[in-house]
Structure 1
Amino acid sequence: MSRIIVKQLPKHITEDKLRQIFGAQGTITDLQLKYTPDGKFRQFCFVGYSTEEEAQSAIRHFDNTCIQTSRVRVESCAALGSEDKPQSWSKYAKDSKKNLDKLKEKEREAAAKAKESEKKKKKDKVDKVDQILSRHKDDPEFQEFLEAHDKSRTLWGNDLGINKNRENEEEDDEEQEESRAARDDSGVDADAGDEDGSGDEADEEEDTDKLAEKPISDLEYMKSLMATTSGEATAKKPKAKADKSNLELFTIKIHNVPYNTKRQEVLKFFKPLKPYSVRLPSKVHGFCYVGFKTEKDMAKGMLKNKSFIKGKQVFFSDFTEKNKVTKASKSGQPLAPAAVDAGNAKWKHQQDSLSKEDDISESGRIFFRNLAYTTTEEDLRKLFEQFGPVVEVNLPLDKLTRKIKGFGTVTYMMPEHALKAFNTLDGTDFHGRLLHLLPSKDIEKNPKEDLDENDASLSFKEKKALKLKKNAQKPIGWNTLFLGANAVAEILAKQFKTSKERILDTSDGGSSAAVRLALGETQVVIEMKRFLEEEGVRLDAFDEPAKKRSNTVILAKNLPAATEISEITPIFSRFGPIGRIVLPPSGVTALIEYCDPLEARQAFKKLAYSKFKNAPLYLEWAPEQVFTKTLSGEPVIPKSEPKPKEEVKPEEKPIVNDAKPDEEDSRAEDADDEPEPNTTLFLRNLNFKTVQETVEKHFRHLGSIHTVEIAKRRDPENPREFKSLGYGFIQFKKSSVAEHALKNLQLTHIDGNPVELKRSDRVLKTQDNDGAQRRLASQKKQTGTKILVRNIPFQAQYREVRDIFKAFGELRSLRIPKKATTGEDAHRGFGFVDYMSKAEAKRAFDALSASTHLYGRRLVLEWSANDDNQDVEELRKRTAAKFDGSQAATAAKRSRKSFFDVEGSVQPNQDDDEEEEQ
């Protein structure tokens, strides 16, 4: 935990003072002093550090020490929602024990009051009925009316009878309860007349039409009496005073108001203007409202925007329309359409935002916020990659301050990994601040990006461009130093101060145009490599197999010849500041490094395959650590790679399972070779708990293993996990090793299960990048004076190939095998070039293996052995192995039965032994 809590601080300590004190132990990312609602300091604060080590160092250094005569306690913060969090004791904490007890006590008091009020209501109902009936007790016709409807009821017989009737009414059905409630709600105050029935003329007129004589029910009769009384009571109420709050004011809302600012200070701020009203909210701080009678006064007040109150800059906003909406909503008056739009704009924006939120389980995208401003994209990627592979991390950057904005988004390859990260990381401590996660919103896309490449309305050219645009960010291993034939011709014409036509003219009897362009391209590439090395570019990074790509360096290719830096800078700098641009003199390939990864991604998306001059831009992410120095000039330290295991001398090698030392040597030699045909075995009856590493460990002593696969399927009960099917495949490098395993390790026990072995035609794939790197290194290692040349165009003639290679030294021989088909004088697409000395051979190999194209095809060079027959046999062997492998793969795809239909147990028989002996 990199976040600490400091308790028992002095009452008058300031935030700046605390930053100065605690900043001595590390970088502070967050510091919060806690106050009560009325602004009283609670004498504790939270301090966040960049790393956990800095936080622990601060705890050891400051705990139980004195700050301004107060002995402070420094502890680590508990995680949000953790069970280990101690019980709060302060009355200001919502979850404190005191507040919880008070809340329960308030609930009990509220329940008791509700009971008392209910009893009081019932009593008032009875009293009101008594009061109403007492006014009409001397009316003989009313008595007659009651007796006619209820003979058993004598209203004024005796008090006991009345009380009993009241008790019966309280226990009566719902209809009588509703009737009694209706009588209560009316609130009758009847002055029907005097006790003897006399009154004024109006009363006498009313009495002439007695209510009792009307054909109405008891309930209607009582309601009419109560309505009369309530009307009289209403007439006696005093008139309401005029409400001054209805005055239409022009209101300014002031933001960033200093704490404890008083009304007089705001009035003094606006002098000589005199605001009509100043409202400072008591429970919320940081803003206030100032009202003016006229719009002219408000305009003058707005001139003080961005001024300072108590040394703090404040900002104004027009709150007039929103104030009208607030007043109208409180009074229940209808709103004007303009006011409705102004008031609901924010609410509509929030609703639109909520409607655009995606479910994390579907999108795999998470929005995070409350980051420390020192956080980097690498820190976030490292944090989120703990739960699964991350596709992209977006961390917006402020263009003015060049610091992060404190929020961003992360996208996972699998949505279930995003859901797991969301449930685990939300509310946790990260660089001293509490990380807050939310479902990410769907960003509105450009309609052009939603076009489908299979849309029938698009032309072939548009479909191809759309497909290339979508696949632009894939890590395609293009030739970094590629030069088009047109660019090579223009560069040569510029160097030799001639025209392109003369460069391509072959009427003088010299070499062909293809040879000239090939040799010219080689010369330009050599100069380009020399220039890039001088600029601090590591060219070996482009020759290695695909590794991790850079997220800030873009490789721009297919630029027109003689392109200058001043031409491409405005195009790429639109998306953010550029650290450096490396452009060779030929001007056909450039390296552009951005300062921020997000801006580099935006530039890549927008500019990939866009038109520059008369050609499309081919963009590719450069390999990681392509420069030998950083932008600040510091040398780049290569990432530590696992050291190769030290070779053990033959006499010191332990013999495991009767394996001979020469077998170990042979295994080390063939580790980089492709597997031979017929080296795959089917493994049956595997334990469901057996993993790939266990199988490899079990068969490792036999020889080199190409790969191991265990068949799995998704668990229906838990779709996030995969379940073994109880069988698998193993492929060895050598067929002899597979044969030995089939004969001698039949029904061998792995994890307690006897595993049955059977031949399989399945060809397994490998993901061994290290082996590819070793093979590439072995191809570049010089073995003599002979070079194997592949990918020779079929239209290229013997003379043209010879002219290219003899430019680097004297040739001993050049042999290009021809096709065996009768009547054709065509070669087979490869050849052998032998030089007189190793130095000449090495010079030719280094120059032509980089990027030399003949008739549009790149020449591929490898070092070869000295015997031509061995070379041809080796090529035939490799071609046959690849052909057999592809045939086996095709057969496996056509017939799943060939390796899934397993017969009974296979035991080594006598026929197999005899064939082995023969």
Structure 2
Amino acid sequence: MSRIFIENLPKNITENEIVNKFSEKGEITDVKLRKSKRNAFVGFKLPEQAQDACEYFNKTFINSSRISVKIADTVRAYQSNTIQNVKKVKKKFDPFDELKDDPEFQDFLKLQRNTDSSKNQRIWDDDALLGNQVQISKSIDNEEKENKAEEDLDTENKANLRCKKSFEFTVKIQGLPYKIKKSQLKDFLKPIRPLSMRFVPNVKGIAYVSFRNSNDLNAAMIKHRGFLNGHRIEIKRFKDSNKNAGKESISSKCGSSDTKKFESKNGEIPEPIIESGRIYVRNLSYTCTEDDLRVLFEKFGVLTEVHLPIDVNTKKPKGFAFITFMFPEHAVKAYNEIDKTDFQGRLIHLLPAYNKIESKYAANKNSDPNINHSAKSSYKQTKIEENKESDCATRWNTLFVRPNAVADIMAKNLQQNKLDLLTSNDSKTNVAVRMALGETQIVNEIKQFLIDNGVDLHTFERSNSDQSERSKTTILVKNLEAGTEESEIKQLFERFGLVKKVLLPPHGITAIVEMQEPNEAKFAFKKLSYQNFKHHPIYLEWAPQNIFTQETVEDQKSMRQEDFNLEARIDDRCDSNDQEDLDPDATVYVKNLNFETTESDFRKHFEQIGRIYSATIAKKKTSKGILSMGYGFIQFYRRNDAKKSIIELQNSYLDQHKIEIKLSNRSIVENKSVVKKKSFSPQTNLKQTGSKICVKNIPFEATINDITKIFNVYGKIKSVRIPRKLSGSSKFRGFGFVDFVTKEDAKRAFDSLSSSTHLYGRPLVLEWARDDSLDDGSEAL
């Protein structure tokens, strides 16, 4: 709880005095002073600050008044206590309750009633009659009010019942085309008329359809495994796991009284949260950030968007936000648990949000399917709009350089005409090799410039290897025209907000832009993505988190050589230890693992056999995160331990799964999870094993002479081998081996060419080769 309640304040105290007094214990976000009752509510940003203030200021004095400070109750707790107090008040105190069982008191009441009825009976006849008429009229009025209240209650119950039953008969449809429209889905379900149709935001191929009764639902289930536009459709009955949590919210959103509150001037009414999954949050603190809201709402489900509007002049939040969940059921649960609770010292209020304003492309996409959209825009414009609408964070490699820009820079540096550079008939090097070497030189200059200006290049490597966290204010700008100046980039982004930093490496073909506010950076990213700049579209990518290092350039230069020597000594020591201690063929393959099994449990299960060098569970990336693939590898120090584990632990149980073990030909040298990758990683094996480099993704048009001329720049080469296909044809297999005379030359070539070197349009992928790499069927130079 981040709010405190203060009692017995002085009569003449002001809000400023309260702020000055209690700000000693933390940042104050809200003050509510009630002078007539001499109490106040004070909100702190953190619950710990409120607790400290409560302990510190309780039973202290302000002027001559001794105040009482305690943690404020929540609104829900206060409402429940109020209801209980009202029930107690309704029970009126009757002073004759103790005399009801007394027989003498009952006789006294009978005698008293008889005397009252017999006294002056004729005199009061008319009044008695009039009193009876008044009582009759009052009873009639009461009956009419009761009947009217019952009718209103019945209509309200019927409305709530309709709202609750609206989503009772729901099916989940999978396998839909990505660009399907609601009208096409309605035609597929004819003659059944669905009650509602909902597409999950940012999730393609899935829809939820609700029906009025079970008969329509059963009729829709008949269309299971039918075909729609060439796609096989699967229909399943949807059972809401959060049904109890959603009923209360659904009924509240379906009532006519609530919808009138949120009806806009143009008559638009927000959709229920169960359909849109979008929540409007108000009364937020002006120091609140998007990260704070993510932490608050992510515990209920996956978020697709957090929008916190800021004031253009003050650069501070406006006090409200929009939260969009991937699944509307999670939004309902968040609404029920967070509404009217305190957050950062303020009581936040949650409401159903209006639909997000769609772009022209999205509006045309969801419009009438009979309209020919191709007549409105060309295919090129449609693809650009699709790319802008997509939320993909990474579209190109980090150090992407356009080949045309490489040619321009090389011609300028060599003081040669660009046409002569590309059409030269020099027998020593062809155009592809010259372009590859020129690109490598330019990329290395960019890397050195970024390092000197405090950019951590390791964050780029981590961002390529896994789904690392991306920055919300720093943008990578690529595909710029050669010779672009820093002022031009700054002027381009300053239209959308304040620019803190612009880093433009030599030759001006790529840049890093850091903006002050996340909302302004998001707006600039959306507007400038794929926009033409100097006759070329610019490619934008969110930079990795913590891209800027804290050390200065001088500190980096002084420590660079020492760090390099230390890493070299550690690598040599690790290499010698690995060669001395590890036995070959000491790895076992374990399958049928439980998907919930962790690597620590996996390792513990085999530690009883012998010393383990590494325990690895194979994993893959999905939309839900990194999941286990059900198998793994155990590498022992000794081969005998590997054979012993097969004998003793075969068909043993691990997390209620019977595992199967056999010897593996695979050699695992790193104690980390294996992630299945769909694309090439430029530096898959960073640990140098010798002087031989394995080169992958070699174009089939390339020759051994081309590979030799690219690598010959960095040192003396012992041999170059490129395997051919086994069918006996003259075509290469797309990979090869380059062996240098010394390790230092191999290291220099690997560092220079592994970042972004393209040969005939294909990026070369470099790895350190094993000494026992097979070269059968290869051609050597």
Pick the TM interval, shorter chain. 0.5 to 0.7
Structure 2 match to 1:14: 14
- How far apart, CA to CA, are the structure 2 residues paired with 1:832 and 1:364? 54
From 503, 510, 513, the counterpart of 1:592: 513
Alpha-carbon offset, residue 814 of structure 1: 1.7
Give the structure 2 partner of residue 303 of structure 1.
none
CA spacing shift, 1:578–1:588, aligned 2, 3 Å: same
State whether structure 2 residue 383 is matched by structure 1 residue 464: yes
- Amino acid aligned to 1:600: A
The one-letter code sitting in structure 2 at the alignment partner of 1:816 is I
| Paired residues of 1:579 and 1:593 also in contact (CA < 8 A) | yes
Q: Which amino acid aligns with 1:795?
A: E
The answer as to whether partners of 2:726 and 2:777 remain within 8 angstroms in 1 is no
Evaluate the alpha carbon distance shift between residue 826 and residue 758 of structure 1 in structure 2; reply closer, same or farther with a 3 A threshold.
Answer: closer
For 1:792, the aligned partner's letter is I
Letter in 1 for 2:383: K
Are residues 833 and 585 of structure 1, via their aligned partners in 2, closer, same or farther at CA, if it must alter by over 3 Å? same
Letter of the aligned partner of 1:505 in structure 2?
T
Please give the secondary structure, in 2, of the residue aligned with 1:813.
Answer: strand
State the secondary structure of the residue aligned to 1:586. helix
Contact 1:682 1:759 in 2 (8 A): no
The CA deviation at 1:613 is 2.2
Map of 1:860 onto structure 2: 765
Structure 1 residues 475 and 402, CA, compared in 2 at 3 Å: closer, same or farther? closer
> Are 2:474 and 1:568 aligned?
no
Report the equivalent of 2:77: 82
> Which residue of structure 1 lines up, in the alignment, with residue 23 of structure 2?
23
With over 3 angstroms needed to count, the CA separation of the structure-2 counterparts of 1:65 and 1:439, relative to structure 1, is same
Read off the aligned partner of 2:39 and give its amino acid letter: F
Native 8 Å contact 1:681 1:738 kept in 2: no
Q: State the SS of the aligned residue for 1:54.
A: helix
Residue 214 of structure 1 is matched in structure 2 by: none
Distance in 2 of aligned mates of 1:507 and 1:750? 67
Quick one: structure 1 residues 400 and 463, their matched pair in 2 at CA, closer, same or farther if it must change by over 3 Å? closer
Q: Output the CA distance in 2 between the equivalents of 1:476 and 1:874.
A: 38
Question: Which sections of structure 2, spanning at least 5 residues, go unmatched?
Answer: 94-121, 141-259, 557-578, 620-628, 663-670
Distance 1:776 1:572, change over 3 A: closer
Aligned mate of 1:558, from 469, 479, 493: 479
1:469 is paired with a residue whose SS is helix
- What is the deviation of 1:759? 11
Give unpaired runs (5+ residues) of structure 1.
Answer: 36-40, 88-93, 106-158, 178-346, 636-661, 710-727, 761-767, 876-918
Selected match of 2:45 from 44, 50, 67:
50
Q: 1:604 — aligned with what?
A: 525
Distance in 2, matches of 1:666 and 1:477, equals 43
* Native 8 Å contact 2:599 2:617 kept in 1: no
Partner of 2:324: 411
> Over residues 352-406 of structure 1, what are the superposed CA-to-partner deviations in whole Å (9 max), with x where a residue is unaligned?
5774412222222211111111222212211112222222211111111111111
TM-score (norm 2): 0.64
Alpha-carbon distance in 2 for matches of 1:667, 1:573:
60
Partner of residue 788 from structure 1, selected from 690, 694, 709: 694
* 8 Å Cα contact 1:489-1:517 kept in structure 2: yes
Q: Given the alignment of the two structures, is residue 842 of structure 1 paired with residue 747 of structure 2, yes or no?
A: yes
> Are 2:698 and 1:779 aligned?
no
1:470 is displaced (CA, Å) by 3.2
1:170/1:61 CA distance change after superposition, 3 Å: closer
Q: Output one character per residue of 1:39-62: Cα deviation in whole Å (capped at 9) or x when no partner.
A: xx2100111111122212212221
How many Å separate the matches in 2 of 1:695 and 1:478?
38
Once the 2 structures are TM-superposed, how far is the Cα of residue 505 of structure 1 from its aligned partner?
2.8
1:855 Cα shift? 0.9
Are 1:537 and 2:455 matched, yes or no? yes
Identify which of 522, 542, 545 aligns with 1:621: 542
- CA separation of 1:558 and 1:693: change in aligned 2, threshold 3 A: closer
The answer to whether the 8 A contact 1:865-1:871 is kept is no
Determine the structure 2 residue equivalent to 1:395.
308
**What amino acid does structure 2 have at the position aligned with 1:53?**
E
Give the equivalent residue in structure 2 for 1:118: none
- Mark the CA change 1:420 to 1:571 in structure 2 (over 3 Å): closer, same or farther: same
> Are residues 748 and 467 of structure 1, via their aligned partners in 2, closer, same or farther at CA, if it must alter by over 3 Å?
same
* 1:63 is aligned to 2:58: yes
Moved more, 733-742 or 405-414: 733-742
CA distance in 2 between counterparts of 1:355 and 1:429 reads 30
- TM-aligned CA distance change 1:729 to 1:527, over 3 Å: closer
Larger RCO (CA under 8 A, 6+ residues apart): 2
Distance 1:750 1:815 in 2: 46
Change over 3 Å in CA distance of 1:874–1:449 after alignment to 2:
farther
Counting matched residue pairs gives 569
Counterparts of 1:36-185 in structure 2 under 5 Å? 41-82=36-77, 101=89
Distance 2:585 2:317 in 1: 51
Relative distance call for 1:574 and 1:630 in structure 2 (3 A) is farther
1:698, 1:750 within 8 Å by CA — same for their partners in 2? Answer: no
> % of aligned pairs identical?
39
Higher strand share: 2
Secondary structure of 1:481 counterpart: coil
Q: Which residue of 1 aligns with 2:284?
A: 371
Matching residue within 707, 715, 728 for 1:801: 707
Given the superposition, is the C-alpha separation of residues 401 and 82 from structure 1 closer, same or farther in structure 2, using an over 3 Å criterion?
A: same
**Corresponding residue number in structure 2 for 1:229:** none
Aligned to 2:361: 448
Check whether the contact 2:4–2:72 (CA below 8 A) recurs between aligned residues. yes
Number of the residue aligned with 1:720: none
- Matches of 1:866 and 1:747 in 2, distance apart? 36
Are the aligned partners of 2:603 and 2:615 in contact in 1 as well (CA < 8 Å)? Answer: no
Whole-angstrom CA distance in 1 between matches of 2:413 and 2:73: 71
Give 1:810's match in structure 2, choosing from 699, 708, 716.
716
Root-mean-square deviation (CA, aligned residues, Å) is 4.6
CA contact (8 A) 2:477 2:540 kept: yes
1:304-347 CA distance string (max 9 Å, x none): xxxxxxxxxxxxxxxxxxxxxxxxxxxxxxxxxxxxxxxxxxx9
Give me the whole-angstrom Cα distance separating, in 2, the residues matched to 1:850 and 1:478.
13
Amino acid at match of 1:488: V
Q: Deviations over 1:663-702 (max 9, x none)?
A: x9679986xxxx96xx64498xx9xxx9779985895558
- Do the aligned partners of 2:691 and 2:739 also contact (CA within 8 Å) in 1? yes
Residues 834 and 421 of structure 1: CA distance in aligned 2, closer, same or farther (over 3 Å): same
Distance 1:873 1:49, change over 3 A: farther
Q: Tell me if structure 2 keeps the 8 A contact 1:356–1:442.
A: no
CA pair 170-430 structure 1, distance change in 2 beyond 3 A: closer
* Superposed displacement of residue 772, structure 1: 5.2
Tell me, in whole angstroms, the C-alpha distance in 2 between the residues paired with 1:61 and 1:821.
Answer: 84
What CA distance in whole angstroms lies between the structure 2 residues aligned with 1:553 and 1:579? 10
In 1, distance between residues paired with 2:490 and 2:25?
43
Paired with 2:84 and 2:511, the residues of 1 have a C-alpha distance of: 63
Q: How far does the alpha carbon of each residue in 1:470-502 deviate from its partner, in whole angstroms, 9 at most, with x for none? A: 33x323363111212111011112222332112
Contact 1:696/1:708 (8 A) holds in 2 = no
Give the drift of 1:77: 0.3
Match of 2:352 in 1: 439
Counterpart Cα distance in 1 of 2:14 and 2:394:
57
Cα contact 1:392–1:412 (8 A) shared by 2: yes
CA 756–634 in structure 1, closer or farther in 2 if over 3 Å, else same? closer
Bigger shift: residues 441-450 or 526-535 = 441-450
SS in 2 for 1:851: coil
Code of the aligned partner of 2:3? R
- Cα distance, 1:834 vs structure 2: 1.6
Q: Give, in whole Å, the separation in 2 of the partners of 1:350 and 1:14.
A: 38
Do 1:367 and 1:437's aligned partners in 2 also have CA atoms closer than 8 Å? yes
| Secondary structure of the structure 2 residue equivalent to 1:555 | strand
